Structure 1
């Protein structure tokens, strides 16, 4: 039986396509290839799922599924990676059926949200200005996320490759070190909020509100009219925070992988 990710009105698909496009520019893969409307995103230096996945961009592009799917698997294998499918409202339902029939499992549901920056209330002044020091920002992100420092070159390369104007926001103290980070990418009238992180010792101190507010203010001053972000569907605390800024759900996406692939 053919099943879609969710019921999205056809009139909303252009918005989904636009948000997907700005998302690709905000988090660029080092290798992007196309098979029809299927985008194969690969990055040898950093293992982010968004950088290493198959992303179909047209629900009607479902010809020769088996052949194209196996070709994609071979391409990912050449990078030493197992194929991961990113399912959005633009994914052909027949492709979802194919991976389900092969025993693949769905994981990591994500909600894409937007807010009107012109309508929201933000401070008139910015308490935190963006940094241009990629190394400092990456060190702060890795410290807060608890990631291995071995991925620093790959993450720094991804951030340095972002073409639209980018604000790297860091809150830190001499005693505690990094407290909160976020990355804001301003792409014409759209601004994306990425990689929000807060130190565990600073939770419930409104640090996330503080740094997101600064990033949104920066984007609005630069001319952005709408902000977007992606947050884990199960991250209820973060979703509640973003709702205070007026963020509302537009669509969701999921990942699919073979059962043999490690998490």
Structure 2
């Protein structure tokens, strides 16, 4: 549920200074794993915009230095104009790297905080993976995109934009799809291996095929693939209140690294 006002505990208050290097690294690999079509910088702010896809991760301002608090109101207005030119509502992604002064300004200006998420990590080296059927990754972007849209029940109009995003991923990626003869695609996962880190960008199971072990099966395949490619740590992002997903990831040894949320400007709720 979205909240506003001074009762909000900022994301930066949840982290100690010795956690910031990990946050910076995971944010950096996250950008590479889910690339926006346009990336600009204003100081330490990364302005990510993608005209063809509405994902918040692809369309947001991401502050990357807690000490960057120069001309905050002017820069917010400047960023707002860029989002308007793209036809996108402006959102700010608040991680522990955001300046406390920026968060204070957002609160005073009546911005709304929403969509809290948890970034989780798991040690792949000693992880005991379930004894599940193994699936090999595909390199067919079109097949994966079609399957992903179908499994998620997403609008097919997003196909060109999603294909562009997936095709734009530079690090090695594994595109996993589980199909059955009658229903076609029933589960998908995208895993991006960036040196010793493996990002699980999505784990989706078609609504009518849940509770059949497919999420365990496809996630096991992705993590096994990443470990065989010498990844040592897996990471992912999940909604803070998505209890079924949190339970699944806990089973695989994932634990919280940090949290982030989004802010939207007044009138965009």
TM-score tier after normalising by the smaller chain length: over 0.9
The answer as to 2:26 corresponding to 1:29 is: no
Structure 2: how far apart are the matches of 1:219 and 1:52?
28
1:4 alignment counterpart? 10
| Worse-matched range after superposition: 2-11 or 14-23 | 2-11
Q: CA offset at residue 4 of structure 1? A: 2.6
Deviation by residue 1:118-157 (Cα, 9 ceiling, x = unmatched): 1111268962000011111111111111111001000000
Structure 2: how far apart are the matches of 1:105 and 1:175?
44
Q: CA offset at residue 46 of structure 1? A: 0.9
Corresponding residue SS for 1:55:
strand
1:192-207 equivalence runs, <5 A: 192-207=199-214
Contact 2:119–2:237 (8 Å) recurs in 1: yes
1:111 paired residue among 106, 118, 133: 118
1:112-191 equivalence runs, <5 A: 112-122=119-129, 127-191=134-198
Unaligned runs of at least 5 residues, structure 2: 1-5
Structure 2: how far apart are the matches of 1:133 and 1:125?
23
2:64 paired residue among 57, 75, 81: 57
1:211 paired residue among 214, 218, 223: 218
Structure 1: how far apart are the matches of 2:34 and 2:133?
25
Corresponding residue SS for 2:136:
coil
Contact 1:115–1:226 (8 Å) recurs in 2: yes
Contact 1:184–1:192 (8 Å) recurs in 2: yes
Moved over 6 A (4+): none
Q: 1:203 to 1:123 in 2, by over 3 A?
A: closer
Q: Kindly report the root-mean-square deviation, in angstroms, between the aligned alpha carbons of the 2 structures.
A: 1.5
Deviation by residue 1:165-214 (Cα, 9 ceiling, x = unmatched): 00000001120111110000000000000121001121111100000000
- After TM superposition, the score normalised by the length of structure 2 is 0.94
- After TM superposition, the score normalised by the length of structure 1 is 0.96
The answer as to 2:78 corresponding to 1:99 is: no
